[in-house]
A and B are shown apart, each in its own frame.
Chain A
């Protein structure tokens, strides 16, 4: 092989990476964010790029680029399949795309192999859906597939808490990845093609940083009661499933069992006059099971560890407040002083410092949203109640708490159908600082990751392509005139949970990829990859045109002489 040929192949490998970066970090975001202008911009970039390639190689390079992207996508889709399917699939992909490429232009077999191998390498090294992350993050850790993808479950809640008695924080998530590792085949129930018929069994998994990567902790290496305490209430697939917890040598297992067969649900709904009431009957059965399960878990854990559960908010938070609701009684402790009050709420959503004095506020949810204020003497009173008259769907709200306007007092970022930021006044009155114009917006967290100098709002929202319903991770900065978008990543992650899980003193963002059941630990990237790709693109184009100019001059010079 002559050296020129080798250089060409190396350039091709390099270009393949560039094609991927261009496609994922420039073209896709442009189209998603600026729709028409984005398409125009992308066409101009691709047009100029191809124009700057010498005309004799133009077609073949375009084909290499398209072939590479196609192969990369195809191999990515094969990733979760079995090994045999993977091998057979890859071979088929290779030949199909090779012959199509061959049909369209002069493509050398050698170069095509180089392109294919590059795609294969990228697919082995990276997770095929993570490229959009690179624009802002470094993927510190990507979990294995944690749960069967052929199930009714979209995602499990993510939790960050210290459960191993050592300093750092661990990641807690559910999964059955022992089973997905062994086989992804269903266990031959009669409705094997209908995932609704299956039991959904998941184990609470604890992942901890070992200095290099995240390891799953075995039972004994973490405290089961600490894990149980940190669990969120999660009405997964409600009201169609009943729930049970089991303690085993693998940890806490959560077992969801369908309460009705699908045909029963369908035929019940089909008697239209009865449908709302058979639904109520099912709701109550499911609620009963959820409550029984909670109680039995509490009993089992207490039995095993001698500790009691039941605190919704724990003492180890920086506000030194603990609280729980039992039998309509809100009780707890604030800076060592106990308090108690009757409440109409059932869930404690969080604690906040809404005022400049040293009181703390408890945000409690029932039919309405209640705010209780407790002072250091342990005196507690209801200071505000946000009812369904003001916010119709307040009862299904969840929230993020943080000081978004930087006045030293916390605001509530409320996720209702139309998300909003509310500020509580001294008299218990509410001021709307911001209201989402569409119902796709969801607050996820308010934090400062990496070396950001202030906390920012991490939310999920639609892109400007309104037809596309995927909600993307978006970073906003609050300003009095609204939320200013800082950046957006075109990946539909959820459960964005901040936490320092690797003990480096900086906060990472942990997130869940729904349906694929993979979690990512993301660290803020210091390399401005997107501007680099843009700059590189400009350089390539200029270089191409410079080359053309040079050639033209040469031609003219030859012509003159």
Chain B
């Protein structure tokens, strides 16, 4: 008899719970408000000092970084459309090459450069591809920044993966972009270049280790007009760490069953 009462009680509780759940306004109430963008404070630093720090960093990173890990992406947004080239997990060893796990337009890939040979795996099969001659010296191409070093703003120091870093930022317009373009890259000379490059804007931010002067991170945000759709918003972001760490070892090609 007692058991039955308990059962009935259970049913009643359930019905009460159930109806409240049904009729309670399970709304997604969202309050209104205003937007405030927080701009970090800028410090004024003597131009030649920035140039010295930058010069030292570029030189050291280029010549002394023999091994490091990296991660980053290039993402491009036009209205609703967003595309990504992601490097989720990368290692570099000057002696050998590099190894990347990433994705391109949502397709995962593994990319593997062993000395002068490159291989890509976009599913379950390795395929040999022709490699570019200069991709094995990845920390090049930052020299252009020296041209605009005198205009760089110093932002408050930041920690990047426990490394204390100085942060520098510069805003470049279309003409500046042409000035800082690294050797080996050319801007195609189309009609659209004349229309859209001059009104483009690139905000370049770089994080330099205070202790060891290595480049630990950089980000560029490009806004460029696109015909009939407002602006392209393109972010390039890369982060580097574990410089010259002994733990970095890129496995032999045989490990992946690649026959050279």
Contacts and interface: CB of A to CB of B under 8 A. Distances in A.
Interface of A: 30, 33-34, 37, 41, 44-45, 48, 51, 152, 154, 190-191, 193-196, 233-240, 261-281, 283-285, 287-288, 290-291, 294, 312, 325, 345-347, 365-367, 388-393, 395-398, 415, 418, 420, 432-437, 461, 474, 476, 481-485, 531, 534, 538, 541-542, 545, 548-549, 552
B30 A41 contact: no
Given A273-B140, A434-B30, A193 B230 contact: no
A538 B15 contact: yes
B69 to A, nearest CB: 13
A279 B232 CA distance: 12
Interface stretch (B44-52, B159-167, B182-190, B252-260): B182-190
B105 A152 contact: yes
CB-CB nearest 5 A-B residue pairs: A273-B141, A194-B122, A395-B231, A193-B123, A274-B141
B196 A287 contact: yes
A275 B85 CA distance: 11
Interface of B: 4, 7-8, 10-11, 14-15, 17-18, 21-22, 25-35, 37, 70, 72, 74, 76-81, 83, 85, 87, 98, 100, 102, 104-107, 109, 111, 113, 118, 120, 122-125, 127, 129-132, 134-135, 137-144, 177, 180-182, 184-188, 190-193, 196-197, 199-202, 204, 218, 220, 222-234, 236, 238, 240
Contact of B187 (A196, A281, A432, A461): A281
B227 A271 contact: no
Contact of A432 (B32, B118, B188): B32
B143 A273 contact: yes
Given A41-B21, A288-B190, A367-B225, A275 B238 contact: yes
Contact of B192 (A48, A194, A291): A291
A190 B127 contact: yes
A484 B17 contact: no
A281 B185 contact: yes
B230 A396 contact: yes
Contacts of B233: 393, 395-396
B81 A276 contact: no
A290 B229 CA distance: 11
Given A284-B192, A398-B79, A193 B122 contact: yes
Contacts of A51: 7
Contact of A397 (B21, B188, B230): B230
B120 A194 contact: yes
A263 B120 contact: yes
Most chain A CB atoms below 10 A, which of B7, B21, B31, B226: B226
A269 B85 CA distance: 9
Contacts of B109: 194, 262, 266
Given A267-B131, A273-B144, A280-B224, 14 more contacts: A194-B122, A235-B79, A263-B131, A272-B240, A275-B238, A284-B193, A284-B196, A288-B190, A366-B225, A395-B231, A433-B32, A435-B34, A485-B26, A541-B14
16 contacts: A41-B17, A193-B124, A196-B107, A240-B105, A263-B130, A267-B118, A273-B142, A276-B202, A277-B141, A277-B187, A279-B76, A281-B185, A284-B187, A325-B228, A461-B28, A482-B31
Contacts of A193: 122-125
A281 B138 contact: no
B111 A266 contact: yes
A395 B196 CA distance: 14
A548 B3 CA distance: 12
B28 A485 contact: yes
A396 B131 contact: no
